[in-house]
């Protein structure tokens, strides 16, 4: 069977299941590194004076964010021999905009990264629906097993949600300080995303394949 560089479609028999906790760690780990490095930038400079050549804490955080992103993608490749689509897209944007941030010494580029990534995700998900493809299965298949209608509705909701996050990021980084923006990425965006995820559970339960099987079995017994 031909090996695929990218994560396979969830319906593909060759699709590899990923431990949800490992997947969460690989996807959120780089963001936590970014937050820690920005919050403790002065401490890092005291412990590792060589970092002073990079600049202020936000630039140190950006450099470490890029390194952590590369490590997370490398671990995914080593363990699975494939690269997850959405973290890969996010990683490419992190590396491009991170490099511009460090090269031009302008923090605006790294602040724009969530806007670009969320807009891309929203457009990809909604565009996939236009062509009859529910791409969200690549992200959540290890956690949820839904029928086609469930994936379609969930993909629509997440596509719109990503576009809302893009607008929200623009408002925050343009209106508040850098420290506030970094904190909002972790303590604002993450809780909002978790609340949105939990709010989708009724839809997930309604369209889960297991629930569908139970309902069919019950109808046969009648």
How far separated are the first and last CA of the chain, in Å rounded?
45
In the chain, which stretches have pLDDT less than 50? Answer: 1, 214, 217-218
pLDDT of residue 216: 53
pLDDT of residue 199: 95
Burial call 179-205: b when 16+ CB within 10 Å, e when fewer:
eebbbbbbeebeeeeeeeeeebeebbe
Whole-angstrom distance, CA of residue 203 vs CA of residue 180: 34
Of all helices (H) and strands (E), which one includes residue 173? helix 148-175
pLDDT of residue 176: 95
pLDDT of residue 156: 94
pLDDT of residue 175: 96
- Give Cβ neighbours of residue 137 (< 8 Å, ≥ 6 apart): 9, 10, 11, 146, 151
CA distances from 168 to 8, 176, 177, 192 (A): 31, 12, 15, 11
pLDDT of residue 14: 55
pLDDT of residue 119: 94
pLDDT of residue 3: 56
Question: Please, are residues 159 and 129 in contact by the beta-carbon 8 Å criterion?
Answer: yes
Strand partners, 159: none
Domain boundaries, the chain: 1-105, 106-221
Question: Please, are residues 149 and 207 in contact by the beta-carbon 8 Å criterion?
Answer: yes
In tens, the pLDDT along 48-58 reads 888 888 988 89
């Amino acid at each position: 069977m031909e090996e695929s560089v990218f994560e396979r479609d969830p319906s593909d028999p060759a699709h590899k299941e990923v431990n949800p906790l490992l997947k969460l760690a690989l996807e959120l780990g780089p963001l936590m590194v970014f937050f820690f490095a920005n919050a403790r930038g002065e401490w890092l400079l005291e412990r590792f004076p060589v970092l002073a050549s990079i600049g202020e804490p936000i630039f140190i955080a950006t450099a470490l964010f890029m390194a952590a992103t590369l490590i997370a993608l490398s671990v995914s490749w080593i363990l699975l021999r494939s690269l997850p689509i959405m973290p890969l897209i996010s990683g490419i944007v992190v590396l491009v905009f991170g490099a511009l941030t460090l090269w031009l010494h302008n923090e605006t580029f790294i602040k724009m990264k969530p806007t670009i990534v969320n807009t891309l995700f929203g457009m990809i998900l909604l565009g996939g629906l236009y062509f009859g493809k529910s791409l969200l299965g690549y992200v959540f298949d290890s956690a949820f097993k839904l029928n086609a209608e469930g994936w379609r509705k969930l993909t629509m909701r997440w596509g719109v949600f990503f576009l809302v996050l893009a607008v929200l990021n623009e408002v925050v980084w343009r209106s508040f300080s850098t420290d506030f923006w970094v904190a909002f990425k972790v303590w604002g965006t993450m809780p909002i995303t978790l609340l949105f995820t939990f709010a989708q559970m009724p839809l997930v339960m309604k369209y889960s394949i297991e629930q569908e099987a139970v309902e069919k079995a019950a109808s046969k017994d009648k």
